[in-house]
Structure 1
Amino acid sequence: MTSLSFLVSSFMAMALVVGALGQVEDPLNAWGDGRATFYGDIHGNETMYGACGYGNLFEQGYGLETTALSTALFNNGATCGACFELYCVHSKWCIKGAGGIRVTATNFCPPSSTSPNPWCNPPQKHFDLSQYMFLKFAIYQGGVVPVKFRRVYCYKKGGMKFEIKGNPYWILVLVYNVGGLGDVSNVKVKGSRTDWIQMQRNWGQNWLTGVQLVGQGLSFQVTTSDGKMVQSDNIVPTNWEFGQTFEGRNF
């Protein structure tokens, strides 16, 4: 193949990727092997809340494009917010030509000592999808299918969101709608009268500090597992109240 032909072929291949995804895909990891099932009904009535600490997934922008993760993938909540690409493979229940699906990790699929099919028990890598997403690449009657999967970047609309809960003695901040790798590994908060304060993961993507910050404007630093950090300065005014949500920068 001549150099010109090689360049043309490379450009055409890249154009296909750009056309399909909106931008050039940058795979994060090699493909892995796992399984997938589904929970909830087709409308997602059982997928709205979960072990990551998120609230109403429709209001928060996740919708039905979600999955619960088995112990081997959940990582004690550290994988919450991460995005995955899955393909149904090697099963008569796969929908021919369906292609892949993309989902965000929003829940935990707990192991079981009584279930006849303990798919979420360690060390199995398992995705318990919303029914809506499962039916995009597999037939309902299949119930469980083998999949190929990999981590991918999350593409979220708008800025990162910070929902503030707690009381005058401590605050708990839910961080969601995170782009990039999506999985928050570190959060710091700065009051208008403090230096940067290290927050601690409380559960899922809820981050806690016991420093009293009521009456102060707030800034946040959010770091994902690849070490990238985004700083949102002065996004919370001094008159904020518990239960409010504020928007910052995104990856």
Structure 2
Amino acid sequence: MAPIHQSCSFLLITFMITIIGKPPLVAGIFRPSQWTLAHATFYGDETASATMGGACGYGNLFLNGYGTDTAALSSTLFNNGYACGTCYQIKCVQASACYGNVPYTTVTATNLCPPNWSEASDNGGWCNPPRTHFDMAKPAFMKIAQWKAGIVPVMYRRVPCVRRGGLRFSFQGNGYWLLVYLMNVGGGGDVSKMWVKGSRTGWISMSHNWGASYQAFATLRGQALSFRVTSYTTRETITAWNVAPANWAAGLTYSTPVNFH
């Protein structure tokens, strides 16, 4: 089993998968939410270079499958990072800058829009709590409204994330501290819990670090690694066996062929 470098195409690594729980409540169907009023701005330019990285830790959004259809969430929506990877349909409403022939665009949450307490919530401090606000990548914003408007009222709703390919586990840390960024999550798009199992250990609970990252303080060097992941939204749990080989290394990303629905 070969690791996947960030600069290369992702190679699927064969593994076994188990769905835990009973449908529809635990591993059930995630349906779109009701439309709700919010506002949206944009950051960066047409290249979306300013959106790379971000509080969720997804790194290069082009290489990792998110592209330019992304948004930073106000802290009210960000939920201390548990909203990383969630997907939203957004449509511009009640403004002359809206493109009336565009029903909506779909974005993934990849970043945090922090409060700006030096500005009023209705005049510059758009992401101040308790406001629900989307600071969109400029290319995504330009799909629904004229960018010169700066800020527009929008309607939004949570929708299931449709992802191609499987879950992607990006490793950092060392043989005694493993930090994993989980990317390309389908279904609810989010993660509430993770566990890791070495080939010589039992299941070890991983603590939430920040954004889409989870960590384990354990001696895992030289062991093949399996993971168990629970969705924050649907509570569906996936067990992925032998995701990374015994010679796994920090700085590499490993992929699995299946995903949440």
Q: By the TM > 0.5 criterion, same fold? A: yes
How far apart, in 2, do the equivalents of 1:94 and 1:47 lie? Answer: 23
Supply the AA of the counterpart residue of 2:251.
G
1:5-154 equivalences in 2 (<5 Å)? 27-115=31-119, 116-154=123-161
How far apart, in 2, do the equivalents of 1:28 and 1:216 lie? Answer: 40
**Cα distance change, pair 31–119 in 1 and its aligned pair in 2 (3 A):** same
Tell me which residue corresponds to 2:216: 209
Deviations 1:128-179 (A, max 9, x none): 0000000001011111001111100001110100011102220100100000
Deviations 1:78-105 (A, max 9, x none): 1000000111011111011111000000
Q: Aligned pair count?
A: 227
Q: CA deviation at 1:27?
A: 3.3
TM-score (norm 2): 0.85
Supply the AA of the counterpart residue of 1:235.
V
Identity of aligned residues (%): 48
Contact 2:35 2:155 in 1 (8 A): yes
How far apart, in 2, do the equivalents of 1:233 and 1:158 lie? Answer: 17
Supply the AA of the counterpart residue of 2:142.
L
Report SS of the residue matched to 2:136: strand
Q: CA deviation at 1:33?
A: 1.0
Report SS of the residue matched to 1:199: strand
Deviations 1:194-245 (A, max 9, x none): 1111101101011100011010000011111220111111121111111111
Supply the AA of the counterpart residue of 2:185.
V
Is 1:159–2:166 an aligned residue pair? yes
Tell me which residue corresponds to 2:239: 231
Q: Which has the higher contact order (CA 8 A, sep 6+)?
A: 2
Ranges in structure 2 where 5+ consecutive residues have no aligned partner: 1-28
Report SS of the residue matched to 1:43: coil
In terms of fraction of residues, the more helix-rich structure is 1
Ranges in structure 1 where 5+ consecutive residues have no aligned partner: 1-24
Q: CA deviation at 1:26?
A: 6.2
Supply the AA of the counterpart residue of 1:91.
A
How far apart, in 1, do the equivalents of 2:101 and 2:87 lie? Answer: 22
Is 1:244–2:252 an aligned residue pair? yes
How far apart, in 1, do the equivalents of 2:160 and 2:145 lie? Answer: 24
TM-score (norm 1): 0.88
Is 1:188–2:195 an aligned residue pair? yes
Range with greater deviation from structure 2 (34-43 or 162-171): 162-171
Report SS of the residue matched to 1:92: coil
How far apart, in 1, do the equivalents of 2:251 and 2:143 lie? Answer: 36
